[in-house]
Structure 1
Amino acid sequence: MSWVVFLIGVLAVVASGLPVLLARRFLRDIREDLGRNPDRGYRPRVTLIVPCKGLDPDFNVNIRAFFAQDYPDLELILVTATRDDPAHEALEKMIHAHPQVRARLLVAGIATGRGQKINNQLKAVAEVEADTDVLVFMDSDARPKPAFVRHLVQPLENKQTGLATGFRWYMPVTGGLWSVLRSAWNGGGVVFLTDPQANYAWGGAMAIRKETFETCRVADRWQNALSDDMTITNAVRSRGLGIRFVPHCLVTTHEDCTFAQMLEWTNRQTIIAKVYHPALWWKIALAHCVGNVILLLGMVLLLGYLLDWIADPLILLSSLLMLAIIPMEMLNGLVLLPAVLAMLPEHRRKLVRLFPAYCLLAPLASILALVNTISSFFTNRITWRGVTYEMRSPTETIVIQEQS
């Protein structure tokens, strides 16, 4: 029996080393990509679509960043669900304040059988000019740098690349526990973005040729969907096209959150993954379930040895091997940090200051992921920006509670 427990401990160390290897590969890929010229001179005609609902923290600062894009042939389309949305008046003022930018503000109406964000995006797509080459979709809580769109569209020069994507890094404003934990939880998904087989689109910053959008019938797939990015990921992959992550397009979202907001957001991401990408959801579920069960077993065995309930030294060694999961999770953060710093050099000081907290919270982020997984077993309902949805399937969304 002792040897079985010891074998579990050895396997735990090996398994906990895999994320570290993934982080090392990610760091290598990012350094190689950032070492190349990010601008190859590709300048398609772009329509930048930004669905908006309500006033996010620093809303005006974020929206001004869209108007400040350094791109020669760009039209900006901003969309709200209704005219009485608080964002609508703010966006009207922003358009008037930037007459040098080609910008339009549309009203999409209230969604009934799909996500409101997708409803807004579909309204914008229907209004896109015929000579637009590339559609860029971004979220209103992002704060892109002036060269963001220019960098994001470059991979699309290759016809085998169906979609180019950025990713989000939550930047805590005050550094509160729950804000940093959300950032650490979200950062765990970044290591898959350079893997051509495992990467995915992030809806907050994605670019696709209009021709590809139409060929992949994305608008049809969006008709009754909730997740814009998971749906477009599946659509692009179904045509045998690749997805390319652009390291220069890691975008920061500057906001804090409460415990309830953090839990609601992480639960929502997990439930969406269960519906739209069940294979990935199962892998994550098994990984966090097995990892945390082994960690708990290690704690119990160590406690039993310290209290003289267990006298076998091999059990002590086994428990220490199991508990090695904790420093290995911290080591993963240590390996990942240089890649994040390379992509966000302007935030280096703050990220370095937050780094000890990221490392210490890595085990808690894994436990949180397990809680999210357990919660997602029992429901397909989420609440997103004040609207409650039930996802019957990737192609059927029911609005349970409409917006007032």
Structure 2
Amino acid sequence: MNEVSIIICGLLTCLAIFYVWLTVAFVSKLNQYRSTPQEKDILIDEKKNLPSASVILCLRGADPFLPKCLEALLNQNYPDYELQIVVDSDKDPAWEMVTQTVEKQAAKHVKISSLVVPRLTCSLKCSALVQAVSNLDANCEVVALVDADTVVHSNWLRQLISPLADPQVGATTGNRWFLPQGKYWGSVVRYIWNVAAVIQMHFYRIPWGGSLAIKTKVFRRTQLLKKWEQAFNEDTMLKHILQQQGLRVEFVPSIIMVNREETDLKSFIPWVQRQLLCSRLYHTSWKAIAIHGVLTTVIPTVAIALSPFMWLNGQLPAVAYFGSGLAIYVVTQILCLVILEYQVRGIVKLKGEILPSIDAATVFKVLLALPLTQMVYTFALTSAMFMQQVKWRGITYQIKGPWDIKLVEYQPYTATETSVDSIM
């Protein structure tokens, strides 16, 4: 049995090393941003080189931070852009909020429309995106996608689009960063899960549709719009499509957007299931992601389950190996989480945004939530492997394959529906 314990200890150590590797790679990318000239030092020089852009915001329901999101999008430090807002219907709670905000801002560079054709072969968000992109002005060079729960800073669009000057870059993306504070355990679990997800998304080049810019020539050269007409998700497939054109997705550290919304566990679980489902359907590295998820569940569980048995049978060396492996694995995770939180806070600080300090109670709650996060993730990953039906914002979809999506029955959004599971 000592041989088994040694193998388990070795595997736990390998998982810890892999997590450190992902963390180091992500932190290195963040530090590249720190070492480059800051945006305020190059605004004048860049102005003449920035392409015309269209920002697309798709809405179904009024998210808690929607007014702030709209105000920020309408006041971007960018010379030539238009904001396209596609609301699910003019009866949607978001419609009045949008029109009032636009009137208050006296904005002229904005178009508001309702979804004309809710396709039965894709998600409503994909339908809205197809409608918006199909109506782009002829001179538009870049399309930027943003989510309703994303409150951007004034230089967001400039920083998102600037890396597209590289001819090898077809799209740029940021990522979300949740806060560990909150009155719900779901918020803490989401924070822990997302920390690990962010570094994996960077490693596997998984774009995030909450802040995503795409060159319009990508739409002309590929079948991306046709794909969206049959897809559940708009962003995860992008890596593969760009690779076929010899292009890549570029992660932009300054586009790490802080999300201050809260969620309970009941709302978080279907949300994370959808995130994993999208990877299963559209990302070429899904098998690697799934295998890693299984290993991080099975190996620690085996070590924990066998330790009492070994103890009762007097096999103390085996217990020591199990304990050592678990200690290395858990301590490494905690240290990497602390490092990532510190590094991201540094990036956020450079943008002038203030984050609440983390007190002892929050730290204690995060530590308690670590095993809970693993259990929730295990359940979500397992269910995502076999999901054939999803309910998203009051709409049920049947999922028979990546390009075999069926919207069961369209209904306008009502104010009584929850707004926790935002459009992502």
TM-score, length-scaled by structure 1:
0.92
* Alpha-carbon distance in 2 for matches of 1:233, 1:101: 34
Match of 2:207 among 198, 201, 205: 201
Change (3 A) 1:286 1:358: same
Query: 2:329 aligned with 1:323, yes or no?
Result: no
Change (3 A) 1:120 1:351: farther
Secondary structure of the equivalent of 1:75? Answer: strand
Change (3 A) 1:318 1:402: same
When structure 1 is superposed on structure 2, of 356-365 and 204-213 the one drifting more is 356-365
Change (3 A) 1:18 1:270: same
When structure 1 is superposed on structure 2, of 3-12 and 255-264 the one drifting more is 3-12
Contact 1:137-1:206 at 8 Å conserved across structures: yes
Query: 2:118 aligned with 1:114, yes or no?
Result: no
When structure 1 is superposed on structure 2, of 83-92 and 290-299 the one drifting more is 290-299
Secondary structure of the equivalent of 2:285? Answer: helix
Secondary structure of the equivalent of 2:386? Answer: coil
* Alpha-carbon distance in 1 for matches of 2:371, 2:164: 38
Which residue in the other structure is 2:179 paired with? Answer: 171
Change (3 A) 1:193 1:282: closer
When structure 1 is superposed on structure 2, of 64-73 and 163-172 the one drifting more is 163-172
Contact 1:174-1:256 at 8 Å conserved across structures: yes
Change (3 A) 1:351 1:265: farther
Query: 2:381 aligned with 1:373, yes or no?
Result: yes
Which residue in the other structure is 1:48 paired with? Answer: 55
Contact 1:294-1:322 at 8 Å conserved across structures: no
Q: Describe how 1:148-227 pairs up with structure 2 within 5 A.
A: 148-171=156-179, 174-195=182-203, 198-227=204-233
Query: 2:269 aligned with 1:263, yes or no?
Result: yes
How far the C-alpha of 1:10 sits from its partner, in A, is 2.2
Query: 2:27 aligned with 1:27, yes or no?
Result: yes
Q: Describe how 1:87-166 pairs up with structure 2 within 5 A.
A: 87-109=94-116, 110-166=118-174
* Alpha-carbon distance in 2 for matches of 1:369, 1:281: 15
Residues 300-335 of structure 1: per-residue CA shift (max 9 Å, x gap): 3332344xx221222121221332222222222123
Contact 1:47-1:77 at 8 Å conserved across structures: yes
Which residue in the other structure is 2:418 paired with? Answer: none
Secondary structure of the equivalent of 1:169? Answer: strand
Contact 2:65-2:151 at 8 Å conserved across structures: no
Which residue in the other structure is 2:408 paired with? Answer: 400
Which residue in the other structure is 2:289 paired with? Answer: 284
TM-score, length-scaled by structure 2:
0.88
The count of residues paired between Structure 1 and Structure 2 equals: 399
How far the C-alpha of 1:19 sits from its partner, in A, is 0.3
How far the C-alpha of 1:46 sits from its partner, in A, is 0.9
Change (3 A) 1:18 1:360: farther
Residues 20-63 of structure 1: per-residue CA shift (max 9 Å, x gap): 22102211221122321254614111111111111111221221
Gap regions ≥5 residues in structure 1: none
How far the C-alpha of 1:174 sits from its partner, in A, is 3.0
* Alpha-carbon distance in 2 for matches of 1:316, 1:396: 49
Contact 2:76-2:155 at 8 Å conserved across structures: yes
Match of 1:303 among 308, 332, 348: 308
* Alpha-carbon distance in 2 for matches of 1:101, 1:43: 20
Change (3 A) 1:174 1:384: same
* Alpha-carbon distance in 2 for matches of 1:90, 1:207: 25
* Alpha-carbon distance in 2 for matches of 1:363, 1:27: 25
Q: Which amino acid aligns with 1:265?
A: W
* Alpha-carbon distance in 2 for matches of 1:192, 1:326: 18
Residues 350-385 of structure 1: per-residue CA shift (max 9 Å, x gap): 457755544553443233221112112332321221
Identity %: 23
Gap regions ≥5 residues in structure 2: 413-424
Contact 1:79-1:108 at 8 Å conserved across structures: yes
Q: Describe how 1:229-268 pairs up with structure 2 within 5 A.
A: 229-268=235-274
* Alpha-carbon distance in 2 for matches of 1:361, 1:87: 34
Residues 116-151 of structure 1: per-residue CA shift (max 9 Å, x gap): 111111111122111111111111111000110010
* Alpha-carbon distance in 2 for matches of 1:355, 1:47: 41
RMSD: 2.1
